[in-house]
Structure 1
Amino acid sequence: MDGKFISFEGPDGAGKTSVMRQVQADLTAQFGDRVMYTREPGGNHIAEEIRQVLFDGQNTDMDGRTEALLFAAARRQHIVSEIVPGLQAGKIILCDRYVDSSIAYQGAGRQLGEEAIWQINQFAIDGLLPQLTIYLDIESELGLNRIAAHRANQVNRLDKEKLTFHQTVRKSYLRLQREHPERIKLIDASQPLSDVINDVESTIHDRFPELFNEKSD
């Protein structure tokens, strides 16, 4: 497939939305409609309906395994409906979360086992991994403080988890980055937003030199 698949990961409050919005704008200025933004869970009408169930604030009694299976189901539909066709069409795909999120949030955070969640998702992704994953790292306390300060009216069911949950999620992300350093690149998300964006775009350019070619020395 001729396209490029870049996922963005990070703990809650890392600033993924702001970073991705600017990256998308800058790439669109260079490549126009070849740039495709999508998200998980979601990305197409079936997966978006699953997202509504997952993030409904009233579903506090949802079983952890049910949650993990719903994420995997949404991911599978997203891949079939959006990601694979986009790659076949030569799109540059920017995906807000992918399989690493399930490993960190359900495998570690929900204590279901990172390997167990990986195996569930092997069936869903059928071997499809991003060529590059941008991991925006931030300490859990700072991330949650950002949520409280800037999007208190958009808090979802997972945002409401205890601090220890978010700390466990972050540790899992850091472990994944150490285990897959060629795919997952760590960016310090505690920096000013402009610095984070610059680091992200430079990292993308390092992997795909034709993207952000103004970053060339």
Structure 2
Amino acid sequence: MTQGRFITLEGGEGTGKSTQARRLAAHLRTLGHTVVETREPGGSPGAEAVRHVLLSGAAEPLGPVAEALLFAAARTDHVQTLIRPALAAGTIVICDRFIDSTRVYQGAVGQVAPPLLDALEEMATGGTRPDLTLILDVPPETGLARAAARGNGDPDRFEKEGAAYHAAVREAFVARAAAAPARCVLVDATPDPDAVAAQIAGIVAARLGLHATAEAS
């Protein structure tokens, strides 16, 4: 059985990751591919429990190192129970956030030491890495306005941070894309969702060769 493909979507708040993950999954299904959609923090029962602790801000007083440890614990369960089995079964896995978010939020912005993040990443993923990472990019003020317009209640742990924080997040994601061009593609997410979805579909086809299957033809 052919190993599946692992695609992650990254970026700051309000960049449209969740929307574009759903649209990419739907597009690939129309081409005849089997797709699993997931997210971080979360994606498995154990990880979803940790998600509430992280996004509610309950872990914030403990500092970025503690948050990094909790993200790693959630990721370990997620990878072992969902991502790795799905890839082994030949499924395409699309994940809303993964390792790059930890490197940005807890690393570049939170100043957690890289050696600790290296160790946590290896422990949590066991070498499971994305085949392609789409880093969605919008100006921070645009992203925060979009996040506020969603009307999902109070801002979460990260949405509530100030303008300087979100500017630093954007800068760090752009740097991640530049540092790993073989895996990462920076996507201009300022146009309307249809245009962004078309752009992403083209990138996925070009980078991973995911075209229509024989069954869908």
Same-fold call, TM cutoff 0.5 = yes
Q: Deviations over 1:5-39 (max 9, x none)?
A: 0011011010111111111112122226x210011
Verify: 1:185 aligned to 2:185, yes or no.
Answer: yes
- Measured in 2, the distance between the counterparts of 1:83 and 1:165 equals 31
Match of 1:176 in 2: 176
Alignment map for 1:40-55 (pairs within 5 Å) = 40-55=40-55
Preserved CA contact (<8 Å) 2:75 2:125:
yes
Extract unaligned runs of 5+ from structure 1.
Answer: none
Equivalent pairs, count: 212
- Measured in 2, the distance between the counterparts of 1:76 and 1:124 equals 4
1:154 offset after TM fit, Å? 5.6
Identity %: 36
Extract unaligned runs of 5+ from structure 2.
Answer: none
What TM-score does the superposition give when structure 1 sets the normalisation length?
A: 0.91
- Measured in 2, the distance between the counterparts of 1:30 and 1:154 equals 38
Deviates more, 1:162-171 or 1:65-74: 162-171
Alignment map for 1:1-217 (pairs within 5 Å) = 2-31=3-32, 34-114=34-114, 116-151=116-151, 153=153, 155-211=155-211
1:116 offset after TM fit, Å? 3.9
1:140 offset after TM fit, Å? 1.0
Preserved CA contact (<8 Å) 1:9 1:16:
yes
What TM-score does the superposition give when structure 2 sets the normalisation length?
A: 0.91
Q: Deviations over 1:98-140 (max 9, x none)?
A: 1000000110221224554234212221222100001101111
1:7 maps to a residue whose letter is T
Preserved CA contact (<8 Å) 2:60 2:67:
no
CA RMSD of aligned residues (A): 1.8
- Measured in 2, the distance between the counterparts of 1:79 and 1:2 equals 15
1:146 offset after TM fit, Å? 1.2
